[in-house]
Structure 1
Amino acid sequence: MKSPARVLLAGVATLATVGALVGCSPAADESESGKTELRVATFPPGADAAAYEAFAAQEAQFEEENPDIDVVGVEYEWEGPTFAVQLAGGSLPDVFTVPFTDSKTLLENGQLMDVTKEMDELGYTDSFNPIILDAVTGPDGNIYGFPRQAYAAALHYNRDLFEQAGLDPDNPPETWDEIRAAAKQIHDETGKAGYSQMAINNTGGWQLTSQTAARGGRTQIDDMDGTSESTIDNPATKATLEFLHALKWEDDSFGSKVDLDWGTINQEFAAGNVGMYTSGSDIYTALVRDFGLDSSVYGMSVVPLEGDDPGTLGGGDIAVMSPTIDDATKAAGVKWIDWYYMQKLLDEDAAVLDAKTLNESGQAVGTPLLPVLSRELYEESLVWIEDYINVPRDQMAPFSDRIWDQTPVGEPKVKTQEVYALLDGVVQAVLTYENADIDALLAQAQTDAQALLDE
């Protein structure tokens, strides 16, 4: 068993020197003890000590069952602008996770390990939601990763700021107009940002796309003939940008920070500086574990839907391996993925052990997610672990009670991160320049995005 300090130091060393980790080198696959050394992704930098205690306990459990494998945890956080450099430089762990949106590009570039045979041997290929399994299915029909978690877009809000502003935290806004009004009320009464939004490192484009879908629009259409059409310049995207413009320049409720991304907006929210923001429904665990959120102030609801064809943007991530690792490391990696990520979704004993271990280490258990398998199995798993659930699910009821009534929408499939990066600039322009020409910005973004799709 490795101490949390060893796990932490391994991660710090990895992040400090891109390319220093030799997880893809056959020479690194066997430790001095003769065991297969397996470097696996753990948490983003900044996770609390309890998270590492929980990981150390799980690591020990796995190694007791697999005494020929030596697991080394590595701090890891996927970020669009840096991931490609880490991948090319060989600085990623042997087992890591990527978002659904990145998997197609990695598949096209031959950068993921084929695990078709291994998944079939484990016997749960047919258990996955077919739509989710498509994210890891290559053009050859083979499978290149294990979907391990899915989420839907959600509205996250600070119950304490709601109460200070005279709002009812048990009845969060249900329309975009109500969000705008609540944001202004929060700012006027507390001086805090009533609403904030991500805008850099591809997250601005991600959230703009999410809110476009919620208003009935789409930013990309698959023509089903191998080509895709950019449809960014649509009324729903324009309405989203006008909403952000109104918060920033008319209501003064957006706040001064217009350069937030996934990590920094979580930090601002956990510090009590943001009343509301949108992100994935799986964010609670990271907010508490990595950013120190006081769980008593947390609230979550669904994202409002409007328009003729609205939907809730969904996503998730996949446990994958590089195709450059050797057979022994691959075999060890499959065992780890199955044990650490998958069995708790499928097996009652594994689910209970995972929940018990996390609970005893003070980690979140029971955060609302979308099932990568069936809804029935997901709900059954909550019954398995009900004695260990420690998240304030009543404060998340506005989400969990209503999410099943919303239509899920997948993220754009082609050049996803590149288009998100392009849309970052549009969001930043609206938040930075009061007289930004939204029509011109959308027209140019559509032209530029189509050029990316045509490459």
Structure 2
Amino acid sequence: MKSPRTIVASLAAVATVASLAACSTGAGGESGKLELRVATFPPGADAAAYEAFEEQEKQFEKDNPDIDVVGVEYEWEGPTFAAQLAGGSLPDVFTVPFTDSKTLLENGQLTDVTAEVEELGYADKFNPVILAEVQDADGNIFGFPRQAYAMGLHYNRDLFEQAGLDPDSPPTTWDEVREAADAIAEATGKAGYAQMTSNNTGGWQLAAAAAARGGRIQEDNGDGTYTSTIANPGTVAALEFLKQLRWEDESMGSNFLLDWGTINQEFAAGNIGMYTSGSDVYTALVRDFSADPDSYGLTVLPLEGEDAGPLGGGDIAVISPSVSEEEKAAAVEWIDWYYMQKLLDEDAARRDAEALVASDQAVGTPVLPVLDEETYQQSREWIADYINVPLDQMSGFFDGVFDQLPVGEPKGSTQEIYALLDPIVQAVLTDPDADIDALLEKADADAQALLDGE
């Protein structure tokens, strides 16, 4: 077995891991075993993450001695994913967000795993709303929903204290978020509040901000068609909020080209007081960006207006359509073992938690269950002794999230429309005279053209 740990150790001096694919011995795998290339972590993950993965890899290969698992660095990014998929550079097993799954399966770019999921016996345990994200019109299944999240407000407890704010009483309204951001910027010189704006994340977070104010950027007509509704009062209010923080309060710092990776990096470095992202980002913050757990806080997203809710999402584990039948069978074995059994089986849950804890990785990060609530609560009980995330510092989220009804992401041309919205968020943050109404009106027209296939 050639593990990611070997690669990390050999490249420690330059603190980077270019690719873990080199750990294989060839297309036939090690000693004639079937080689299975699987997605691991984004570039920059620390050695401890790979140590945990190596331990899990050993466990899997002990149970499946004919399979040689090869870890490959992987991070989904909207602008580059399509090219990676078309070019065949993705691993055999990788993950994609819910927003891409429908388009990919409709284009024949995902492997049908209906028979395999049914044979595994837990198809009926999935949250049906989440399972629908990977089903076609006939109910066929094209992936394994592995994790889900609701949007939350992440905040730096140290910066709160430096600004004279109580980190145990985080903001509950957008007005309070604004006040806290202003206080942090004034007291520390850091960005009190930051916003993702690039690589489709600006559109993603604008959709989330609109939903939190009762707005939806798209209407599902129920017949396979969609109507763009970007220019709604919720979206306008979200952009006006950013405009106030940026130009009136000057509380957003100076970097307005942040995406998921860079905003996490800046937050982990203590340069951002608050930002919004999925509730599950704590794992990446600690594992990939070396955030200090003691400085981390999480609470629910403030909601305002009728029909407001936190945008929900997640990702699915999928199999490349180019694999052979033998590789497909191995891929299903890996996905079931690595992603699913820790949610379904006590021994697997404890084994996974033990491996993570042994390598100082997060156990117990807040998520939305992809399986039914009973199964989820049972899995939490199994790993209760191993949970090492600062639950007290996340109490605002745990106490409130089940009272908030998640809002699904828009389904039609999702990533393309998110990309359309990136420049709007950037414009509001870089041009004090940006005309929000005009920008949204044009975005609606452009989005509808995408939805109509023009």
Q: What's the counterpart of residue 436 of structure 2?
A: 438
Which residue, out of 412, 416, 422, partners 2:410? Answer: 412
In the aligned structure 1, how far is the partner of 2:7 from the partner of 2:95? Answer: 18
Instruction: Report what 2:100 is aligned to.
Output: 102
SS in 2 for 1:196: coil
CA distance in 2, matches of 1:7, 1:114: 33
Q: How does 1:25-424 map to 2 (within 5 A)?
A: 30-31=28-29, 33-424=31-422
CA contact (8 A) 1:29 1:38 kept: no
Q: CA deviation digits over 1:88-127, x for unaligned, max 9?
A: 1111000000000010110111000000000011000000
Cα deviation, residue 139, structure 1: 2.6
The count of residues paired between Structure 1 and Structure 2 equals: 448
CA contact (8 A) 2:245 2:251 kept: yes
Distance 1:212 1:37 in 2: 45
Give, in whole Å, the separation in 2 of the partners of 1:178 and 1:415: 34
Distance 2:168 2:363 in 1: 22
Shift of 1:6: 3.9
Given residue 4 of structure 1, which amino acid in structure 2 is its aligned partner? P
Partner amino acid, structure 1, of 2:2: K
1:312 aligns to what SS in structure 2? coil
- How far did residue 227 of structure 1 move? 1.2
Greater shift after overlay, 282-291 or 139-148?
Answer: 139-148
- Cα shift at 1:12: 4.5
CA contact (8 A) 2:219 2:228 kept: yes
SS of equivalent residue, structure 2 residue 222: coil
Which whole-Å CA distance do the structure 1 matches of 2:331 and 2:261 have between them?
A: 28
Q: Which amino acid letter does the alignment assign opposite residue 193 of structure 2? A: Y
**Paired residues of 2:3 and 2:70 also in contact (CA < 8 A):** no
Deviation, structure 1 residue 376:
2.2
TM-score for the superposition, normalised by structure 1: 0.96
Letter in 2 for 1:266: N
Q: CA deviation at 1:43?
A: 0.3
AA paired with 1:285? T
Deviation of 1:32 after TM superposition, in Å, equals: 5.2
- Three-state SS of the structure 1 residue aligned to 2:215 is coil
Contact 2:280/2:365 (8 A) holds in 1 = yes
Cα distance between partner residues in 1 of 2:373 and 2:279: 16
CA distance in 1, matches of 2:449, 2:323: 35
Matches of 1:178 and 1:112, distance apart in 2: 44
Displacement of 1:14 = 4.4
Q: Percent identity?
A: 71
Distance in structure 1 (CA, Å) of the matches to 2:422 and 2:397: 27
Q: Describe the SS at the equivalent of 2:337.
A: helix
Cα separation, 1, equivalents of 2:404 and 2:26: 47
1:125-163 CA distance string (max 9 Å, x none): 000000000111013321000000000000000000000
Letter in 2 for 1:265: I
Please list the CA deviations of residues 343-380 of structure 1 after superposition, one character each: whole Å capped at 9, or x if unmatched: 00011111011001100111000111100001222122
Q: C-alpha deviations, 1:288-312, integer Å up to 9, x for none?
A: 0000100000000000111111111
Q: Which runs of 5+ in 2 are unaligned?
A: none
What residue is the counterpart of 2:4 in the other structure?
4
> What TM-score results when the alignment is normalised by the length of structure 2?
0.96
Using the TM superposition, give the Cα deviation of residue 225 of structure 1 relative to its aligned residue in structure 2, in angstroms: 1.9
Q: Secondary structure of the residue that 1:401 maps to in structure 2?
A: helix
Question: Offset at 1:28?
Answer: 6.4
DSSP-derived class of the 2:311 partner: strand
Counterpart contact for 1:58–1:357, Cα < 8 Å? yes
CA distance, structure 2, for counterparts of residue 438 and residue 247 of structure 1: 15
Instruction: Read off the aligned partner of 2:333 and give its amino acid letter.
Output: K
Per-residue CA distance 1:317-356 (angstroms, 9 max, x = gap): 0000111100111010000000000000011111011001
The code of the aligned residue for 1:268 comes to: E
8 Å contact kept, 1:54–1:361: yes
